[in-house]
């Protein structure tokens, strides 16, 4: 299979810059897999596990949100928060869930966005379970 360039960046640091064969992306509108010569696409991310397949195996990263830009020869992910899946702790997830709860309460008070905030919390809880925390 043909390789293409993959970059994963969060506000804190660059987490990965690799030649890869496949990137599985937790898109806001559904999961997608990018491969070489994928149609140009920009998508928002939902919290989830981003999997990257390369010559030495597969690397998994937790992303809390952000954007992915797919071009014919590259995938660039700009994540709000990202870390290797193995580094995710229950404390990290509890913090994100607590923030989602705050956003949900504020949305209920303002009368807008409560459904989206509740969905974000539910997604975080689902990811936490899938990681085994």
Q: Residues 62, 85: contact at Cβ < 8 Å?
A: yes
The per-residue pLDDT for 51 is: 97
Helical residues (DSSP H) of 13-131, grouped into ranges: 90-110, 114-131
Q: Which residues contact 120 (CB under 8 A, 6 or more apart)?
A: 46, 47, 100, 103, 104
Q: Residues 47, 65: contact at Cβ < 8 Å?
A: yes
The per-residue pLDDT for 72 is: 77
The yes or no reply on domain 4-85 and CATH 2.40.37.10 is no
The per-residue pLDDT for 112 is: 87
- Which tokens in the block code for residue 125? 């809880």
SS3 of 1, please?
coil
- Which tokens in the block code for residue 32? 């997608």
pTM, 2 dp: 0.90
The per-residue pLDDT for 1 is: 60
What radius of gyration, in Å, describes the C-alpha atoms of the chain? Answer: 15
The per-residue pLDDT for 111 is: 86
Which residue, among 44, 45, 133, has the nearest Cα to 97 in the 3D structure?
A: 133
- Over its length of 133 residues, how does the chain's per-residue pLDDT go in tens digits? 668 999 999 999 999 999 999 999 999 999 999 998 889 999 999 999 999 999 999 999 999 999 999 997 899 999 999 999 999 999 999 999 999 999 999 999 998 888 988 999 999 999 999 899 8
């Amino acid at each position: 299979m043909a390789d293409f360039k993959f970059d994963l960046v969060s506000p804190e640091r660059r987490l990965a810059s690799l030649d890869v064969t496949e990137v599985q992306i937790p898109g806001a509108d559904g999961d997608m897999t990018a491969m070489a010569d994928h149609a140009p696409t920009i998508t928002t991310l939902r919290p989830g596990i981003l999997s990257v397949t390369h010559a030495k195996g597969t690397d998994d990263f937790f992303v809390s949100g952000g954007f992915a830009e797919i071009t014919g020869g590259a995938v660039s992910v700009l994540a709000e928060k990202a870390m290797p899946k193995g580094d995710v702790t229950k404390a990290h997830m509890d913090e994100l869930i607590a923030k989602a709860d705050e956003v949900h309460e504020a949305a209920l008070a303002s009368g807008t966005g409560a459904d989206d905030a509740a969905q974000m919390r539910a997604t975080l809880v689902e990811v936490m379970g899938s990681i085994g925390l």
